[in-house]
Structure formats: C-alpha cells, structure tokens
C-alpha cells in the first residue's frame, strides 16, 4: 500500500523537522538567556509549547504548525550566537590552517654558502 508508506514517510519527515526545530530553538534560548538560572525556566516553557501540540494527528495541521514554528524561530534568532571556536562561524575557524604539503622551509639564517 503506497498510501500508508507515503503517509509514514511524511510523518517521519515531519518528526525530523520538529526535532531539528526544537534543537535550534533550544540553542537559541541558551543564546538569549546566557545565565543558567534564566535558561532553565525558558527551556521549560519552550518544552511546554512543544508538548502542548504533541497529540495532533492531522498531517496538514502539523505541516502548518511546523512552518509557523520555523517562522517564529527565524524571527527570534540571536544576532551573535555562541559557536564553538573551531566550528564554522567561530573565532578559531581556519585561523591556523595546516600548510600545504611539499613546502620545505630552508632555515639557513642568512648564512652564505657560496
């Protein structure tokens, strides 16, 4: 039955979108509320918002809600998020790349060999 398979495939895609959206929203919440004692209540509130819609069954409604959620996330994105230094966007990214192989530096300190 291709109907059931495509339905399940759509639901699986939706679940993945929800997980990725929750992950980004949680990181964003941590970016906005830097201190942990502010982050924990905000994270709980975010989790409540996700959990309130946990049992929706209609696939179109779910799609609409995910699109709404992503729009809200895009509206509230932090302008200067914390990124781990060596990751792309961080401060150490490509700071000291390894030199290309085959280059040999001759340390002769100005000695005159001729």
The minimum distance between CB 19 and other proteins, in angstroms, equals: 6
The dihedral through the CA atoms of 71, 76, 82, 88 has a sign that is positive
When the beta carbons of 2 and 96 are compared against other proteins, the nearer one is 96
User: How many chain residues are in contact with other proteins, going by CB under 8 A?
Assistant: 22
Tell me if 47 contacts other proteins by CB under 8 A: yes
Tell me if 87 contacts other proteins by CB under 8 A: yes
Residues that bind other proteins (CB under 8 A): 15-16, 18-20, 22-24, 26-27, 47, 50-51, 83-84, 86-87, 90, 104, 107-108, 111
């Amino acid at each position: 039955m291709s109907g059931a398979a495509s339905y399940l495939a759509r639901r699986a895609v939706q679940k993945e979108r929800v997980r990725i959206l929750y992950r980004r929203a949680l990181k964003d919440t941590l970016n906005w509320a830097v201190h942990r004692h502010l982050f924990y209540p905000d994270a709980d509130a975010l989790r409540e918002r996700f959990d309130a819609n946990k049992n929706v069954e209609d696939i179109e409604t779910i799609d609409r809600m995910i699109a709404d959620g992503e729009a809200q996330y895009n509206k509230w994105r932090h302008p200067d998020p914390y990124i781990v230094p060596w990751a792309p966007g961080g401060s150490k990214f490509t700071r000291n790349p390894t030199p290309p192989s085959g280059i040999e530096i001759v340390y002769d300190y100005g000695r005159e060999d001729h």
